[in-house]
């Protein structure tokens, strides 16, 4: 990934990655390589079954508006510009996060945050299992995986020296897992969140206080509500509770970090 600063308080980052299998490819370790081109050249006729899968990603971070931080991140697994507007045959496999953090002009110790994340169907996945975007079967992309969205609203403040308070609200939804074989137009034109197989809401409050230099006390509460046919896939039994609703209290201390 490369980051450039075209002007003050504005960062633009771009990069790419590749997941490959079978044989050691020394060219994959060249840090400034454009992997999409390498992918097609190394696979002869450009076959998607040859053991390589590349991705692109872009990030923008701007502090150009006073008291405001704007940011956006785009992960592109696959996209075909010729049919990207065709609702029946598009392959818009991407994940997008956009957000803003705004400080109060009259009280800069308080910040409000709003974020939206959308991940289209099939993003991160590949019909060749060894080249899907994961490590040891753990997805390296967004935790909700594909065909999902998340809305986050939060606030944080430091009312007095050493006291930090944060609160947040999260609402997420996941749609069905579509079959993806790479054949007979499989994966093309899939609707986003046509149905919701899993829904999740969470409220949390966290308090941290620095008693002495690098010695912190912390406490908090988290209220979760999980529902839907896939709730057990995304929620450990201990946190599912009764009818998907749980309240978690926690406290602790740490030294030196």
Nearest to 73 by CA among 103, 94, 92, 102: 94
Question: Residue 130 — φ and ψ, nearest 5°?
Answer: -75, -10
Contact 115, 152 (CB under 8 A): yes
Average pLDDT, the chain: 90
44, pLDDT greater than 60: no
Count each helix (H run) and each strand (E run) in the chain, helices first: 3, 13
* Separation CA 231–CA 22 (nearest Å): 35
Contact 38, 27 (CB under 8 A): yes
Q: pTM of the predicted model, to two decimals?
A: 0.88
Instruction: Report the range of poorest mean pLDDT among 33-47, 76-90, 105-119.
Output: 33-47
Q: Residue 41: how many CB atoms within 10 A of its CB?
A: 10
- Confidence class of residue 171 from pLDDT cuts 50, 70 and 90? very high
Q: pLDDT tens digits, residue range 219-241?
A: 999 999 999 998 888 888 888 88
Contact 248, 221 (CB under 8 A): yes
47, pLDDT greater than 60: no
């Amino acid at each position: 990934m490369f980051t450039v600063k075209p002007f003050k308080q504005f960062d633009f980052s771009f990069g790419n990655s590749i997941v490959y299998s079978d044989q050691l490819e020394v060219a994959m370790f060249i840090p400034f390589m454009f992997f999409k081109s390498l992918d097609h050249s190394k696979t002869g006729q450009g076959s998607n079954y040859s053991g390589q899968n590349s991705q692109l990603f872009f990030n923008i971070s701007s502090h150009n508006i006073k008291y405001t931080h704007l940011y956006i991140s785009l992960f592109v697994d696959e996209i075909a510009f010729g049919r990207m507007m065709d609702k029946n045959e598009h392959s818009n496999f991407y994940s997008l996060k956009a957000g803003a953090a705004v400080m109060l002009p009259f009280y800069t110790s308080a910040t409000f945050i709003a974020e939206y994340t959308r991940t289209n169907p099939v993003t991160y996945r590949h019909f060749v299992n060894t080249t899907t975007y994961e490590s040891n079967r753990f997805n390296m992309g967004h935790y909700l995986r594909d065909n999902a969205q998340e809305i986050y609203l939060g606030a944080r403040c430091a009312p007095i020296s050493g006291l930090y308070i944060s609160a947040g609200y999260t609402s997420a939804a996941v749609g069905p897992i579509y079959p993806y074989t790479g054949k007979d137009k499989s994966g093309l034109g899939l609707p986003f969140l046509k149905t919701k197989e899993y829904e999740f809401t969470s409220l949390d409050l966290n308090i941290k206080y620095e008693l002495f230099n690098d010695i912190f006390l912390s406490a908090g509460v988290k209220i979760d509500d999980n529902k839907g046919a896939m709730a057990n896939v995304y929620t450990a039994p201990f946190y599912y509770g009764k009818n998907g609703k749980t309240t978690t209290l926690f406290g602790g201390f740490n030294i030196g970090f």
